[in-house]
Structures are given as structure tokens and as C-alpha cells.
Amino acid sequence: MRRFMGPQRLWGSEDGPEEDWIKPHVLWLPQHDRQVLDYFGRLREVVARFPDVITPIADEDLHMTIQSVRQLNTDGARVDADQMARAAVLVQQELDGMKPFDLVIGPTRASGSAGIVEIWPEAGPAELNRRVRAGLEKAGMVLPPPEEHFWPHMSCGYGVQDTDTPELAARSDRFASEIGKSIRPGLRTTARVDTVWLVWERQRPDRNTYTFSREYALYLSA
């Protein structure tokens, strides 16, 4: 496994402005769903056995990214609170025609730099992503290019360091084996998506995680 927050993934720098570590995002947040939290709690027990390989994600930081947003808008200015408010209105208009949908969460696997929790089926999250993108772009926000096939997923942990010694490589292999089977038979759980959040998300390399402040709840209200 590789270090998740390596130089290529960092949003800011030590000598740059504090605001560089913060970006607008639209997230689905599961903190209200006890069943989902219990599922991730069982994953966390496995992740916690490998602190030299991967950092577990706390309940309060769990999320599924629907869309990230660049810090600078189409005018080249930094996104501010007023633009966030406009974006919330325009994204909500896009979501007014969408019905809530159900997800299957899991199983979990080790990727190159994280513990990945798969999400299925993809159709609901993909439509949600398209609608959210439309609203954000109408608000003058700049987005990364759209994915050819939107990949809905969550994470249960982020890689701590490059496992570039025989000992660390063996530990990484052991984690990959354990995370895929240790919570059997409950490899999956389910959830309903009826709300997403427009947030300020902060990258925290010091804690190897992301945190966020909720700004606007957005409802799938068809």
C-alpha cells in the first residue's frame, strides 16, 4: 500500500494560504444511519490492527463524495459563502426531480492507497452526480472533468506510508487479506439516499483524513 496523502494528492502547502486546504464538496453522509455506522465500526476494528499500514476513518468523517469543487470559480475568484448559498439553491432545483434511492454498501477491499468500500447499484449515484454537477456549474463553480463512469464508493481507511520494506509489504498483504474476509458473513449493508450535503471539506494531512462542516442540506424530493 502507498501513502494516501502523498505530494500529488495534497491540496495545499506548508507555506501557502490556509484556505488551500479547504474545498467545497457535495457529500452523502451516513452519520444518521446506525446500521451503516455499525458496519463501518466492524471494518474499523480490522483497520485498527494495522496502524503501520492504514489509518481508520472515524464515524464523524465517513462520507461518499458525490462531487468535489475547485477552490476558484469561473471568474478566478475563491468560492465564498455567498456563492455556496447560490449553489445550494441551484443544486436543490436539480434534485427536486429526483427520487430517493437505496444502496448496497460493501464488500470492502484494499486498493493501492486506501480501504475501499464498494457501492452498488451505480445508477442512482451516477444520476445524482450528474444533477449535482449541473447545479454547481450553473452557480459558476469549476469542477474536475466528469468521469466516463461515475464510481460510487466510500473509504474505511487511508494508507499511512509506502509499504516499501519486506516487513511492511507483508503487513500490507495481511491487511488486504483480513479486510476482505474478517467481517463475514456481514460483508454488506444497505442504506437509503434521500439527502446530500454541500459542505466545506478540509484535508488534514496531520491526521491522514478529511473533515467537513455541513453548510446546506439538499433533498431528493421527487
Cα 103 to chain centroid, rounded: 15
pLDDT for res 29 = 98
Tell me which CATH code domain 7-219 carries: 3.90.1140.10
**Count of C-beta atoms within a 10 Å radius of residue 160:** 20
pLDDT for res 32 = 96
Omega within 30 of 0 (cis) for the link into 107: yes
Say how far apart CA 54 and CA 159 lie, in whole Å. 4
pLDDT band of residue 142 (cuts 50, 70, 90) is very high
| Range scoring the smallest mean pLDDT among 12-16, 32-36, 184-188 | 184-188
Considering the chain, what percentage of its residues have pLDDT values greater than 70?
A: 100
Amino acid at 59: D
Q: Pairing mode, if any, of strands 153-159 and 189-193?
A: unpaired
pLDDT tens readout for residues 145-180: 999 999 999 999 999 999 999 999 999 999 999 998
Mean pLDDT score, 64-92: 98
Say yes or no to pLDDT of 182 above 80: no
Phi then psi dihedrals of residue 87, to 5 deg = -60, -40
pLDDT for res 48 = 97
Say yes or no to pLDDT of 84 above 80: yes
pLDDT band of residue 185 (cuts 50, 70, 90) is confident
pLDDT for res 4 = 97
pLDDT for res 184 = 82
pLDDT tens readout for residues 36-67: 999 999 999 999 999 999 999 999 999 999 99
Considering the chain, what percentage of its residues have pLDDT values greater than 90?
A: 95
Q: Pairing mode, if any, of strands 64-68 and 22-28?
A: antiparallel
pLDDT for res 52 = 97
pLDDT for res 13 = 92
Mean pLDDT score, 198-221: 97
